Every structure is written in structure tokens, then in C-alpha cells.
Structure 1
Amino acid sequence: MSTVFPHDPLVAASSVGMEAERLERALALFRSQQARGVFPGGQLVVRRGGHCVAQLAVGLARGFRQVEPPVSVTLQTRFNVFSASKPLVALAIARLEEAGQVELAAPVARYFPEFAAHGKGAITLLDVLTHRGGVLLPDFIHSWERWGDWEAVVDALVRAVPRYRRGTLAYHPHEFGWILAEVVRRVTGQPLPAFCERELLAPAGLKGLSFQGSAAEASQVAHSYWVGSRPMHVGQVDVSVQLEQAYNSPQVLTALVPGASLWTNAAHLAGLYEVLVRGGVTRSGERLWAESTVRAYTSRAVFGLDRSNRLPITAGRGFLVGAPWPTFYGAWGTSPCFGHAGAFCTLGFGDHSTGLAVGIVTNGNAGPGDFLRRFRPLIGALRRACVHPT
């Protein structure tokens, strides 16, 4: 077993102020979900106080469909975590904001001039970070064979006509990452993955978070499955059909889809949230973001009915955050929680009040109702296990 962060050895729950029995109940719940067939396979990693207190790997990474040979999940198995990638994109923008290279109130077109075409000139970086830009690309998203062509992505963004008026809350499933990645490229001269690796991931010891890779590497990524009984649409896209067809294909796994595709495991996801819970400081003591910046990005910026999913959401700048009212983090009092779901199977999150940093990665999707039933009690159990301050 690795002894290197984020796969460092386990410590006793009591050593970081957690009650072992309560923690075990949360772990048992995760195991029972997989045993009941809620998802084929997954990982759960829990960190607190700079230490790892739980790490589980259960079930199948591949082989849920009979046409595939079975492959078991290990702690090192990488999954596509879908929109759980969005916070990393947002954090790249935060890095540029702190360096004075971008202003969130500025139009996207200041950095990506062609984007202004077709009435998009007033849309700001903050609008995109908070899903209020109004730009959706359902036709291009259906053409997933083209996602690997960055010039085609940029052309689609330029040609796009806003579906909603600027300021309308409409979740940008893919557009979020494509727009902001192009801003990063224009400002720094580097593709988003290279910028993130140099400026964020290497200093944090988290190079196991990858936006894309080779076809050989893609062949080792866990497959994703739709296990729901009914179709599900997000932004005019039937994800129940597209999820397996597109996201298990080498074309998509090797494409740069920064707002909806990231290869990683639960250990690295939890490691990222540990840096944020620490106020933007890595384990080596290097500060990647000011604590005030972390708080600004992980606090509530908008709340309302999301036109894309037709569900209420509470969002920060690239993060889905808790609230005094019910959210997927719990029934009440989850305002200190911040993170992001990935499709309907994955969640990375941190908790400013308890100091938890958690990665929950699975490969079974059945829609938002199933996501709530799975994750709300699991997160609640983990938070209740934190009985003493760290």
C-alpha cells in the first residue's frame, strides 16, 4: 500500500476527533448500497485534520454489462467523475484572478473576443462561474465525436446564440468548462490541463487529477453505467442514453471536456478538498489561494430553479454549496458544505465546519432522486461522526 499522499496510511478515527462507531456506520451504508446493486462499483475516502481515516474500494470498475470482462475496483482505479471536475476549472480561474490576470466582472469577450458574437458580449466570467450566462450547446453536445477537436469546440462557442437571457440560472453542463478553459488558454497561452498541472496539481501533490490522457490510459478508466429505469434530460440532452455510449468511448475519454470529464479516484478528490478546507494551503505549506478567495468561491452566490435540470440549486463560483434548507448535503444546516456532484454517481466535498474532506466515486447513475437517497444519509452520517474539533 502506498504511503504517499493522498494514499497515505489510515489513522484511528479518534485521533482526529471522530467517533469510530459512527464512522463505521457511514462506511457500512456505502458497502450496503453497492451490495444492493445501487451502483456496480466505487470508492469512498474520508480525510480530516490532515489525515486519512477511511478508504474503501468495492465492486466492479468494468464488467457490469455482459459484453465486458469483469475488472474489480481498487483504491487506485480512476473513474470519470463528470461534473465533479468543475471546481478544478473554477480554481484555475481563481488563480488567475488572484494574479490580476482576469476580472470576474469583465466580459468573457475581453479575453476571448470572438465569443461576443450573436449577443454574448455582455456575459461575464462571473456569469459563467455561477451558471447564469445563458449559453447552452445541445446540438454540439449531441455530436460527441467532435469533442476532441478543440477548434470545433471554440467554433461552437463563437456560433452559439444564448438560449436564455443573461442572468437566468441555467446549469451549463459542458459549456462551463469549455468557455473557461478557452479563457485560461487565451490568458496564459497554455491549455487548461497544462496550466492546472503546473500551477495547482503539482504543488498540491495531486497529479492524479487528469482532464484527459492517452487511449491506453483511457482503457484503464472505470466504465460508467446508467442503472435507472427512466430517461433523464439535462439541458436538452438525454443523459440516460448518452452516458454509456459517449462517456465510455475512447473519443470522449481522451477529449478535453473540462466541465464534464475528469479522471481521478476518491483519494485524489478528497485530497483536493483537504487543500480547500485548509484555506488554500497545501500539505507542504505552499499557499495556492488566499483563504478569502476559497471562501468567496465556496459560499452561496446564487439560489433558484435551474432551467437545465428543472431542480433548485444553490451554487457558489463553480461549486454546489450547502444551505440552511435541504440540499443533497443534508436536510438542514449544511451551509458550511461545498463541493460538486459528478453526473448522478459521484461527489467530492469539503465542510468548513467539521473539516471533513471527502471523495465518493461510483459508476452507477439513476437520476437526481436516487442521488439524493444515496448521498444525503451518507454525508449526514459522516458529519455526525465528527464529535470533537480537530
Structure 2
Amino acid sequence: MTNPNPNPTRTAHGQVEPGFEAVRECFETNLGEVEAGAAFAVFRHGRCVVDLWGGTADVSTGAPWTERTRAQIFSGSKGIVATTLLRLVDAGVLDLDRPVSWYWPEFAAHGKGAVTVGECVTYTGGLPAVTARTVDQELIGDARAMAAHLADQEPITQPRLIYGPFTMGWILEELCVRTTGQTLRDFFRQEIARPYALDVDWSAWTPREVAAVTYDDDFTSQYDRFNTSTDALTRAIWANPVPFPRGEVVWNAAGRRDAYIPAANVVGTARDIARMYGLIVEDLHRDDDSRGNIARRSTVRDALTLFVRQDDPTLGFPFAYGRGGFRLKGVPRTGVDGDMFGHDGGGGSAHFAWPGSGISLSYTPNRLLDIGNNDHRAGSLIRALKSSMHELESTAA
């Protein structure tokens, strides 16, 4: 397993607008000390104010990170799923308050008849994992087979919120197929990616186009406690299968590159992921409630309304979700990012919007670090961005 050395240079490519120089400085510090390669993009009121990239896209070949390099964003994919759901709801195809079984009758098995669409995308529907069978790294790429297993499974009733890495994507995939005749991926391409020329997609890529993932034993060892847990549910969520197993970096393997895992293997440029969230911010700021870029203003507001805030029982830190499946601040606080929504990803990526400030952002690294205090990269960039915003507001005043 590769353990890359920090880059010998802090040189960042790209541009920042005046007032955002601190963001470039922070990005270059991270690039020289921590990263293999990365990109960071910020839009403000629809205009790109930060567009940075640098480092190495593939440490095995030395290929550089370029302006067009796409990255795997892992659970950041859930934000793409939630954006697709936003469009499905706005079009009247799905209703967050309607039982999943309304669209998918088999889902009602074993007492799940009342579980709603909204509960499934906020991890409150009792299906954080496949619990009745062993799942391997290959099977998670068969979305409809996994959905069938979930439909034929009893729900977990307590606690209310239990986060899982894969299941919400499989459920939304099945719902999209049953209501539109299209996969979630194809619906996203048709309704969102193509109209706005977004370089964001699932599994439609080659090694040259996407940064190769790298991580070390410190990253994979964080899953050891799940493998050895005495709690069967914890093992089912985080070790059936392990998302990032030791040994081969499975996310670089040819079979995984060809797979379709809705909640986990979206790839994209930071620039276009940030721009996607900016489209939603624009919808929130419209003067009327007519159809916007992705959805009407009222649909977006409803999707962002807090649905659940609770400590996750297996991970041990607070989660908060809006009704439509976007992650909100786990611990509420005020400030330029107080209304943040989006979704982060395993290993350190971050993809969010701050509607009140008109900000949307995406950070895409290819070196994955462990959860918690060992990874300050996204946090440092966001702090630099907030500082820049405060300075700009003070100057304007």
C-alpha cells in the first residue's frame, strides 16, 4: 500500500480573485505538507472566485493533477444523489412523505410498509446495512440486487438515526428505475449534468481522467474496530464489506472503476461539483417559485428543513440531515456558513454550499486520511475561506 511523501513543491495552479489570497496560501501549505494531489473550487453568487489544483494525480506514475483531473468523492456521492432526488421531487415523480412501498410494493415486507422516502435518505428508515447475507466487494456494484436484499429485510427500529455507507443509494436507485424507467445515473445526466455541462458522473471514466486513490495503514486501521466489534449491526454496516480494506486499493481496481455504486463512487472536478451546488443556491435566491436550475425555491427549502439531528451510535459524532438527504451542520452555529448543506466524503473530501453567503465549494483530494483530528485539510481551507469572507465584508462596510 502506498504511503506518499508530501509534495516537494507548494505550487498551486489556477486562480483566486482578489481577497481570497489566504485560500491559495492555505491550499499551497497543505499541498506541500500533506497532500498527494488535490483541487479546491469556490463559487460566490454564481462566479468562480477560487479555482485551484496541484500535486500528483497518480503517485505510481507521477502524473500531475491537471485542470481537468476528476476525483473520486466517496460519500460526497450522497450529495449528488440528494441533488437528483431534489429534481425528482420537484418534478412530482417522488414525494418525501410517501411510503417507499407506494412506488415499490416489495419494500413493504417485514413491517416496512410505512417507511417513507424521506426516512430512507436521512438514515432514519432502519436500513443502514444489508444484515441478512454476506456482501463482498463485487456485489456492492449490483445496485438492483442490493436493493432487493434491502426490500426483503427487517428494519432496525432503534436508535432513530443510523448512518450507513451504501444503502441510501441503492434505495434511491430502485425508486428512480421504478418511477422513471431510468437509472439514477441516467436521470442525473439527462436532467442536471448535461444541461449545465457538469463534469460529474458515476463510473464513466478511465484511469487517465481520474486521480488514483492513495492511503496508508493509518487510514485503513480506523476500520479495525468495526471488524472486531461484538455488535452484529456495527459489523454489518462497516465490515460487510469494509469500505476501504487493507491490501489492494480497491477503488483503483479495474472492476471497481466499471462498477456503479450510487452512494459511493461519483467522480468529478471540484470546479463542477462546486458549480452544481451553486445552481441550488441560485434556486434558493430566486424572486419567485418558478422552476429554477434544479428545483423550485419551495422544493429546495423543504429539502433543507432539518429532519434529524443525533449522534450516530457507531461513529460517535453528531449527524444532521435535512428532509431531502443533504447533510447539515451536526452542531448548529452562526456565521457565514451557519446554513451549510451538502455532503462530505470518506478520506477528507468536502462539498457544501452556504446559501446565505452565496457560497458553494468542493475540495477533492486523492490522498485519504483517517476520520477526526488527523485530517485538517478541508477544515483549514474552509477557515481560510471564512476569514476571506469576513475581510471582504468588513471592507465593503
TM-score class, shorter-chain normalisation, is 0.7 to 0.9
Task: Give yes or no for contact 1:46–1:358 (8 Å, CA) kept in 2.
Answer: yes
Distance 2:158 2:279 in 1: 33
Per-residue deviation, residues 76-121 of structure 1 (Å, max 9, x unmatched) = 1111111111122122222222222222112112112222223332
The counterpart of 1:117, out of the listed 109, 117, 132, is: 109
Task: Give yes or no for contact 2:327–2:341 (8 Å, CA) kept in 1.
Answer: yes
Matched, 1:145 2:150: no
Give the structure-1-normalised TM-score: 0.83
The counterpart of 2:347, out of the listed 344, 353, 356, is: 344
Distance 1:303 1:129 in 2: 14
Matched, 1:297 2:270: no
Per-residue deviation, residues 247-278 of structure 1 (Å, max 9, x unmatched) = 22222222111111101010111110110111
Residue identity (%) = 28
Per-residue deviation, residues 220-240 of structure 1 (Å, max 9, x unmatched) = 321222246262237323444
Matched, 1:87 2:84: no
The counterpart of 1:29, out of the listed 23, 26, 45, is: 26
Task: Give yes or no for contact 2:89–2:299 (8 Å, CA) kept in 1.
Answer: no
- Name which of structure 1's ranges 252-261 and 92-101 shifts more when overlaid on structure 2: 92-101
SS at match of 2:363: strand
- Name which of structure 1's ranges 290-299 and 177-186 shifts more when overlaid on structure 2: 290-299
Distance 2:335 2:49 in 1: 25
The counterpart of 2:319, out of the listed 313, 317, 340, is: 313
Shift of 1:137: 2.1
Distance 1:296 1:242 in 2: 41
Change (3 A) 1:334 1:54: closer
Q: CA RMSD in A?
A: 2.8
The counterpart of 1:100, out of the listed 92, 97, 105, is: 92
Distance 2:74 2:118 in 1: 22
Change (3 A) 1:244 1:209: farther
Distance 1:244 1:77 in 2: 22
After TM superposition, list the pairs within 5 Å mapping 1:160-309 onto structure 2. Answer: 160-162=153-155, 164-165=156-157, 168-206=160-198, 208-213=199-204, 217-218=206-207, 220-227=209-216, 229=218, 231-233=221-223, 235-237=237-239, 238-241=242-245, 245-279=249-283, 287-309=293-315
Task: Give yes or no for contact 2:318–2:331 (8 Å, CA) kept in 1.
Answer: no
SS at match of 1:75: coil
Number of residue pairs the alignment of both structures matches: 359
Give the structure-2-normalised TM-score: 0.82
Distance 1:210 1:377 in 2: 27
What one-letter code is carried by the residue in structure 1 that aligns with 2:110? H
- Name which of structure 1's ranges 87-96 and 153-162 shifts more when overlaid on structure 2: 153-162
What one-letter code is carried by the residue in structure 2 that aligns with 1:319? F
**Which runs of 5 or more structure 1 residues have no equivalent in the other structure?**
1-8, 14-19
Task: Give yes or no for contact 1:281–1:288 (8 Å, CA) kept in 2.
Answer: no
Distance 2:371 2:112 in 1: 31
